[in-house]
Structure 1
Amino acid sequence: MSTSSTPDAPVTTLSPVVRILIGLIFILGPVSTDMYLPAFPMLEHDLGQGAGSAQLTLTAWLAGLAIGQFTLGPLCDRYGRKLPLLLGLVVYVIASALLAVVTNFHLFCILRFIAAMGGATTSVAPRAMVRDVATGPAGVKLMSQLMLIFGLGPLLAPSIGSFLLDLGEWRLIFWVGAGFGVLLFIGTWFLLPDTFPPEKRFALPFTGVVTRYWGLITEPLFCSAAMVASFGTFTMFAYLSNAPALFEGILHFSPRLFAIFFGLNAVGFVIGSQINARMAQRFLFTRVMEYGMLAVLTFTLLGVLVCSLGLVGPQNPWILCILIFCTTSSLGFVGPNAGVLALTHHGHQAGAASALIGTLNWTIAGGAGVLMALLPSHWIGSTSVGMMIGIMGCWISDLWRRRLDPNSYLSVRH
């Protein structure tokens, strides 16, 4: 495997083509999550299960992503970024192809878990590669560029899934997913450099891996920054998981209007992340992150307020729509910065650190669905409450970091 950059190389060592490829690799997980959501009713019918059983396949997928990142992360420190990524894509492609032909529901769940285990490397490797070539403001800039592509996942995936359902049955979605995996494999094989050179790689016994993860978990700067990123994802998932119930069920949006507004929020997140990249070059990026968190908290509080006062409803939904758009846009200032901050001092173990961030992300964000299920489904303010709880988690995590490591700002200024 070739290596074209070193951990301290400038971010320009990754060509625009390679950055686009890394971004496409990064969105495999979100696309595979969202693209088959429109097929839930057909999937339940064809596999002979009752209503709601498709949620189990989603649970299997999310569990595979979380466990896969946690277990496969150290391999990226042992064998570089490229080889584990290639092997993970092979597993994902084979499992996706089998998902397209399987007829047993329980086997489907198992294969969904296996596909996620393979696909987990597409979350670990890109984040580690960012740390290999850049940190600080340069890392924020590169991560925000990846967010430009990453934001297209929730924007396009459900529409692609619906389009494929119009062309054929739900199995076509998994054939397309397998084909996307093949294209990523080819691109990775021929175009992607390995940013972690052999002389920096190392092998650890099982006890060493456990010790390394424990060291990361108990380090205040890493753990608190990773928690900020994870609760930022929780905030977004609180919106995503309740969006259909809010906009179609309560506000009576047509499917077309809902799709338009859903896409606008994804565009807002992308725009926010790009503005964040520019601001991080001029201002301390941890401060930019905190201003973004303050904006999210403000907009969610206003959302709860206008809903509590009865100022929004099916006849006047736009105040809440604007506040939610501002909230999702402001989240573009939180996740990229928190992720870069968590990896700042872990270039030598970026694979394991990236894996732990990803595991925390999916585990904590998964709690958003549980929370939204507990909140009153008929109340228009439930989405704002869920997002407010998520951003409060960000603030608590960041206050913890600042209390335990007050000099962290100075150590990541450049």
Structure 2
Amino acid sequence: MSLPAAPTASGHAGDLLSRGARLRLTFVLGALTALGPFTIDLYLPAFPAVAASLETTAAAVQTTLAGTTLGIAIGVLVMGPWSDRVGRRMPLLLATSAHVLASLACAASPDILALTIARFMMGAAAAAGGVVAAAMVRDLYSGLPMMKLSSRLAMINGAAPIIAPVLGSVLLNWVDWRGIFVVLAAYAVVVVAATAAMIPETLPPAQRSAGGFRAFGTSAVSLLRDRIFLSLMIVGGMVWGSEFTYLAGSAFLFQDHYGFSAPEYGLLFAVNAVGYVAGTQLGARIAHRFAPQKLLTLGTAVMTAAAVGITIGTAVDSLGMVLVTVWFSVAAVGVSVPCANVLALNRVHRNAGTAAALLGGANFGIAALVTPLASLGSGSSGSGMGLVMLVTSAVAFALALMLRRRNVGWPVAEPRSAPAVRV
């Protein structure tokens, strides 16, 4: 059935959804956005095992993570304009189906090169969940309601990094690292089924872009000429660059250097992921009291201070200092990411898929560039990880501070009529 294409008092199309439909939409979109973190985090505890099994180096295994993030970066640049042209459901269904096949290809990889290629494909397929979900939120809401729903999705999304490494470490007691990718394939099958059954089409034909990738290029150039949007895009990329540097280096730092077992590393990762969830929910709760640009400045400032602590902690080999400062760094990412994304997307009134694609491309593109640098320094000591986190966090903080001084906040939104939404 379809909801009528009538304006609402708030101008938000999401108000036409029933309470049950909104709840289903939130949880399925959360499962879709969680596909990316599961793709990234589930196999992190297996990094040393992958290196041993394929007879390769730590740096080579970290390259598989860079391949994944590069795949996501390219994938979002494709999924965004594609979903603007054909609607949101079809890209979600096809991409998540491709994720199943890519996961099985990872499980069958005979060497590190094959695994890296399969991980690239897996990342490209996982990209649809995040970028299309963000565009769907923008289809339905704007301003503060958009930030609240984005933060709820971030909370659901944040559960994946808590569960994934713990589950991965537990799975390693029963299967080898290849079995982890079979589990990922099974999860993707469930996501495909849930998407087909419960996700409505939020972009009606009248609001779709007719120009395809040429229109995407035109729209992208227009968005990138907006210096505020561009600055926010870079802030998000630097924040994720810091986070992915931690992801790439932490398994070898804590397991090889500090001697953590795989289950211990999984629990440590889960504790840090709780910090991420706490950060997202703190931002959502105080969003009505503090301007988002102030929250963004606060988050990136804490990230920078924490990165200083991580750099010092790895230099003097202080496990306690590293543990505490890593937690605060991850929590600050949870505050910073929703603010940067919402401030950027709220400047867009049409082609939200293109805007979300640019944001996602910058996030994962910068992450793919800096992730291999985590192996620099003295082996698995984490010195390279700390330094890269410091540089990326400092750049994000400097830009956030500049945006705050320019008083970047909610622009005046265009009046919008609520489109028809299939439920």
The two structures share one fold, judged by TM-score above 0.5: yes
Q: Does 1:343 align with 2:345?
A: yes
Residue 371 of structure 1 deviates from its aligned partner by 3.1
Does 1:391 find its partner at 2:393? yes
User: What is the CA-CA distance between 1:86 and the residue it aligns to?
Assistant: 0.8
Residue 9 (structure 1) aligns with: 13
CA-based RMSD of the aligned residues comes to 3.1
Mean CA deviation greater in 60-69 or 122-131: 60-69
1:92/1:381 CA distance change after superposition, 3 Å? closer
Is this contact kept in 1: 2:48–2:252, CA < 8 A? no
1:125 corresponds, among 124, 128, 132, to: 132
Distance 1:375 1:51, change over 3 A: closer
User: SS of the counterpart of 2:409?
Assistant: helix
SS at match of 1:196: coil
Which segment drifts farther, 33-42 or 230-239? 33-42
* Aligned counterpart in structure 1 of residue 97 of structure 2, from 90, 93, 97: 90
Out of 223, 226, 233, the position equivalent to 2:233 is 226
| Residue in structure 2 matching 1:235, options 242, 245, 253 | 242
User: For each residue in 1:60-109, what CA deviation from the matched residue of structure 2 results, as whole angstroms up to 9, or x when unmatched?
Assistant: 33322111111221011011111111111122223333444465765554
Return the letter of the residue paired with 2:345: L
Provide, for residues 365-397 of structure 1, a one-character-per-residue CA deviation record: whole Å limited to 9, x for no partner. 223323323344476665443332222111233
Instruction: Pick from 164, 167, 185 the counterpart of residue 174 of structure 2.
Output: 167
What is aligned with 2:409?
A: 409
Q: Which residue of 1 aligns with 2:199?
A: 192
1:60 equivalent in alignment to 2:67: yes
1:353 matches 2:355: yes
1:40/1:326 CA distance change after superposition, 3 Å? closer
**Per-residue displacement from partner, 1:7-52 (whole Å, max 9, x unpaired)?**
8335794622321111110011221122233445665676x66445
2:289 corresponds to which letter in structure 1? Answer: R
Q: Contact 2:66–2:369 (CA<8 Å) still a contact in 1?
A: no
Counterpart Cα distance in 2 of 1:63 and 1:380: 23
Contact 1:224 1:400 in 2 (8 A): no
1:369 aligned partner: 371
Which whole-Å CA distance do the structure 2 matches of 1:12 and 1:292 have between them? 34
Quick one: distance in 2 between partners of 1:194 and 1:129? 9
TM-score using structure 2 length: 0.84
Partners of 1:327 and 1:127 lie apart in 2 by 24
| 1:268 and 2:275 are equivalent in the alignment | yes
Query: What is the correspondence of 1:68-79 to structure 2 with a 5 Å cutoff?
Result: 68-79=75-86
Which shifted more, 218-227 or 297-306? 297-306
Deviation at 1:408, TM superposition (A): 3.0
Code of the residue aligned with 1:185 in structure 2: it is V
AA paired with 1:352? T
Q: Separation in 1 of the partners of 2:395 and 2:80?
A: 25
- In 2, the alpha carbon distance for the partners of 1:384 and 1:45 equals 25
In 2, Cα distance between equivalents of 1:3 and 1:370: 48
Does the CA contact (< 8 Å) of 1:3 and 1:197 recur in 2? Answer: no
Query: In structure 1, what residue type is equivalent to 2:333?
Result: L
CA contact (8 A) 1:4 1:193 kept: no
Could you tell me which runs of 5 or more consecutive residues in structure 1 were left unpaired when the two chains were aligned. none
1:282 aligned partner: 289
In structure 2, stretches of 5+ residues that fail to align are: 415-423
CA drift at 1:402: 5.4
